[in-house]
Amino acid sequence: MSELTIDDVRKLAETMGLELDESRARTIASRLSGILEVLDAIPDEQLDSVEPAHRFEVGRE
Amino acid sequence: MAEHDLHLMTIAELGRLIQSRQLSPVELTRSLLERVQHLNPKLGAYITVMSETANSEAAAAEEEIGRGTYRGPMHGIPVAIKDIIYTEGVLTSAGSRVLADHVPDYDSTIVERLRASGAVLLGKLNLSEFAVGGTIDHPYGTPRNPWNLGRSAGGSSSGSGVAVAGGLCAGALGSDTGGSIRGPSAFCGIVGLRPTYGRVTRHGVVPMSWSLDTVGPMTRTVEDCAIMLQAIAGRDERDSSSSSEPVPDYVDALSGRAGTVRVAIPPDAFEYEGLDAEVRSGVMSAVDSLAELGADINEVSLPVSAQSGAVFLATADVDAATFHLDWLKTRGDLYDWSTRTRLESAVLTPATTYLRAQRARTLIKNEMMSALEDHDVIVLPASPTLAPPIAQSTGSPGGYYQGRLDLGRRQYTSPAALAGLPAISVPCGFSDSGLPVGVQIIGRPFAEDVVLNVAHRYEQAAGWSERRPPDPE
């Protein structure tokens, strides 16, 4: 999934109990699609090679 | 000491005068409060000025020093803090109408530590709403860049940048989730340090992102940064994310390092289309200066970090949305349009996208740590652009904080944040139009001493931190 339409956003918002006007729905669709596009461009084989950073720790390594 | 010069002086300089009793903390505090009263309406740095308690704290410091008890270089120094840091009995608004009546009944640990160091708290500083960035309508006044009042002071620690650059406090605290200390520091021509994740407690700080938020100093010099960090760093039992790593002497570290510094430069980051030519030139001049100081400069490749803007937003904003969800449903109209839209966007981020971002975060952390295996620091621009005009510096459609360019610009500050690394912004020049440029120096986890040392050596050689903006007319 590399694009979210305004209709997608409206449906998701309704599920979450958020009321969006046209301007915010359009901006959110554009914003999320931009993020999805960048993340989708990172190769799957690279992402599949590591664990997600669910539990975040920093130490001297 | 001429009173009209006090606002130009560094914490270190003021501290020496206070320790030797050549300068009265009461007079210093009074002088700065007068400047705040006179200039804050033009600069928009403060949300709340704590004149009464500041004067009392200054008098107490003076009395204590007079009795021969000197606590250290922060004793009697007037500072101010970003208005997401809790202060007992004092408005902590987070720059939002949502918290317009929020008066905490306790102090954050950071405020406790500042007071224990003897610092005088002048007040609470303006910011982008909830430290999110891109605020269109600042409910407590628009922060203005002291170098050009029509330009942005950056976000989200905008008031902290303005107050330090404009001489309205001797030093300030900001917070940095994805660049909120480093960006305003670069735009305002000051020094700002994002500490290692966990180095400084966040107890009593309004959160944005649990796995990214840090609090750090914003000052006129690297030495001042070291002094302020010393006062606030260290384990806090009230913050489970704070680290037990020992706290070194950061001021000693400024002069205590010998040998060749190994500096990593990712060349692709200097070819990005959104990187301003004058910023590129300023940062490359800083790299040349480091080489002249004896640093060993090497190129490294950070391909996934170039995509870090999207990874950051998919991580930090989802964290923030979790905190804000109930308010978005019940008090959504109180938010700035930009903040509200960004947080709602995060609420609607698919879980699969969030998980993809978490894997990419691991890749970025591995990439940064790999570069730092063979190098002491990584150098990048602190911001890819000069301070934009205030009208453009928003999250409205077409604004600085929207769209593809926003994602691209974040590649400079997001990698250190996502990897939890310490990173400092230091002035490295000015544009032809007189706007500051900042160079960013990133180090290994808990190697603030190294980062400060390299930054200090560069600062001493370059001298840009000595420039001060004129007072607004």
Angle at B406 between CA A11 and CA A45, to 5 degrees: 75
Q: Which of B128, B180, B185, B425 is catalytic?
A: B180
Distance from CA of B296 to the nearest CA of A (A): 22
Nearest-Cα distance to chain A for B311, in Å, is 7
- Total residues found in chain A within this entry: 61
Total length of chain B: 473
Q: Spell out the alpha helix ranges (H) of B93-153.
A: 109-116
Which among A1, A34, A52 is the nearest to B359, CB-wise?
A52
pLDDT at B285: 98
pLDDT tens for chain B, 473 residues: list them: 566 699 999 999 999 999 999 999 999 999 999 999 999 999 999 999 999 999 999 999 999 999 999 999 999 999 999 999 999 999 999 999 999 999 999 999 999 999 999 999 999 999 999 999 899 999 999 999 999 999 999 999 999 999 999 999 999 999 999 999 999 999 999 999 999 999 999 999 999 999 999 999 999 999 999 999 999 999 999 999 999 999 999 999 999 766 799 999 999 999 999 999 999 999 999 999 999 999 999 999 999 999 999 999 999 999 999 999 999 999 999 999 999 999 999 999 999 999 999 999 999 999 999 999 999 999 999 999 999 999 999 998 889 988 888 999 999 999 999 999 999 999 999 999 999 999 999 999 999 999 999 999 999 999 998 999 999 98
> Quick check: A39 and B310 CB within 8 A?
yes
pLDDT at residue B2, rounded to an integer = 62
How many CB atoms are closer than 10 A to CB B103?
13
CA angle B413, B415, B418 (to 5 degrees): 110
**Å between B69 CA and nearest CA of chain A:** 37
Nearest to B45 by CA among B128, B143, B133: B143
Does B309 sit within 8 Å of A38, measured CB to CB? yes
Token readout for B56 is 């009392």
Nearest to B446 among A12, A18, A60 (CB): A60
CA dist B87 and B262 (Å) reads 42
Quick one: closest CA in A to B329, which residue?
A18
Whether the predicted pLDDT of A56 surpasses 80: no
Beta-sheet strand order (sheet of B262-265): B46-49, B120-125, B78-82, B171-176, B214-219, B191-194, B423-430, B436-443, B377-381, B262-265, B296-299
Rounded Cα–Cα distance for residues B181 and B242 (Å): 19
Task: State how far the Cα of B14 lies from the Cα of B31, in Å rounded to an integer.
Answer: 13
Minimal-distance CA residue of chain B relative to A24: B341
Please choose, from the candidates B209, B208, B367, the residue with its C-alpha nearest in 3D space to the C-alpha of residue A46: B367
Beta strand pairing call for B377-381 and B436-443: antiparallel
Query: Helices marked H in B293-375 — which ranges?
Result: 308-312, 318-330, 337-347, 351-373
Per the CB < 8 A criterion, the answer to whether B458 and B283 are in contact is no
Interface test with B, best of A42, A55, A60, A61 (most B CBs within 10 A): A42
Whether B365 is catalytic: no
pLDDT of residue A61: 58
Q: Count Cβ neighbours within 10 Å for each residue of B258-268 and write b for 16 or more, e otherwise.
A: eeebebbbbee
- Best probe of the A interface among B345, B349, B355, B418, by most A CBs < 10 A, is B345
DSSP-derived letter for residue B127 is: -
Q: For residue B250, which phi and psi values (nearest 5 degrees)?
A: -70, -30
Collect all residues of chain A within an 8 Å Cβ-Cβ radius of residue B369: 61
Residue of B240, B344, B372 to mutate, interface with A, max A Cβ within 10 Å: B344
Q: Is the pLDDT of residue A58 over 90?
A: no
Determine which one of B82, B152, B175, B305 is catalytic: B82
B82 is catalytic: yes
pLDDT on residue B258: 64
Using CB atoms, pick whichever of A42, A54, A60 lies closest to residue B358: A54
Q: How far is B411 from chain A (nearest CA, A)?
A: 12
Dist. CA B380–CA B443, nearest whole Å: 12
CB distance A32 to A9 below 8 Å: yes
